[in-house]
Structure 1
Amino acid sequence: MSFILAFAGSNSSTSINFELVKFTCSLIPTEEIRLMNMHNCPFPMYSMDYEKEHGYSNSLNELKRDIQFAKGIIISINEHNGYPSAYFKNLMDWLSRLDRDFIRDKKVMLMATSPGRRGAIGALEVSASMLKRFGADIVGTFSLPLFKENFDVERGILNTELANSHQLLVQDFLKVID
Structure 2
Amino acid sequence: MKILAIAGSNSDTSINKLLVSYAALLIQNAEVEVVDMNEFEMPIYKHQREVESGVPQEAKNFAAKIDAADALIVALSEHNGTYSSAFKNVFDWTSRIKDRAVWNEKPMLLMATAPGARGGLGVLEAAAKRFPLHGGNIVDTFTLPFFNDNFDKSAQKIANEEKENELKEKTAKLSAVEIILEK
Local SS of the residue matching 2:139: strand
Residue aligning to 2:178: 177
Q: How many residues align?
A: 177
Q: 1: CA distance between counterparts of 2:54 and 2:81? A: 31
Residue aligning to 2:5: 6
Local SS of the residue matching 1:34: strand
Whichever residue aligns with residue 133 of structure 1, its letter is L
Q: Is the 8 A contact 2:110 2:124 kept in 1?
A: yes
Task: Tell me the alpha carbon deviations over residues 28-78 of structure 1, each in whole angstroms, 9 at most, x when there is no partner.
Answer: 341111211113321221001121222222222121112123111110011
Q: 2: CA distance between counterparts of 1:19 and 1:108? A: 18
1:82 deviation in Å?
Answer: 1.2
Q: Is the 8 A contact 1:115 1:145 kept in 2?
A: yes
Task: Tell me the alpha carbon deviations over residues 57-109 of structure 1, each in whole angstroms, 9 at most, x when there is no partner.
Answer: 22221211121231111100110111122222222111111144132321111
Q: Is the 8 A contact 1:75 1:108 kept in 2?
A: yes
State TM-score, norm by structure 2: 0.91
Residue aligning to 2:26: 27
Residue aligning to 2:58: 59
Q: Is the 8 A contact 1:13 1:39 kept in 2?
A: no
Q: 2: CA distance between counterparts of 1:43 and 1:151? A: 32
1:155 deviation in Å?
Answer: 4.5
Residue aligning to 1:83: 82
Whichever residue aligns with residue 132 of structure 1, its letter is P
Local SS of the residue matching 1:115: coil
Q: Is the 8 A contact 1:84 1:123 kept in 2?
A: yes
State TM-score, norm by structure 1: 0.93
Q: 1: CA distance between counterparts of 2:118 and 2:104? A: 29
Task: Tell me the alpha carbon deviations over residues 136-169 of structure 1, each in whole angstroms, 9 at most, x when there is no partner.
Answer: 1100000000111100121511111111111100
Q: 2: CA distance between counterparts of 1:18 and 1:6? A: 8
Aligned-residue identity in percent: 38
Residue aligning to 1:164: 165
Q: 1: CA distance between counterparts of 2:156 and 2:50? A: 44
**Structure 1's 172 and 41: CA in aligned 2 closer, same or farther, altered over 3 A?**
same
Q: Is the 8 A contact 2:55 2:96 kept in 1?
A: no
Task: Tell me the alpha carbon deviations over residues 95-145 of structure 1, each in whole angstroms, 9 at most, x when there is no partner.
Answer: 111144132321111000001110000100101111111121100000000
Residue aligning to 2:138: 138
Q: 2: CA distance between counterparts of 1:155 and 1:72? A: 22
Residue aligning to 1:150: 150
Residue aligning to 2:47: 48
- For structure 1, the residue ranges without an aligned partner over 5 or more in a row are none
Q: 2: CA distance between counterparts of 1:115 and 1:43? A: 28
Local SS of the residue matching 1:79: coil
Q: 1: CA distance between counterparts of 2:71 and 2:166? A: 19
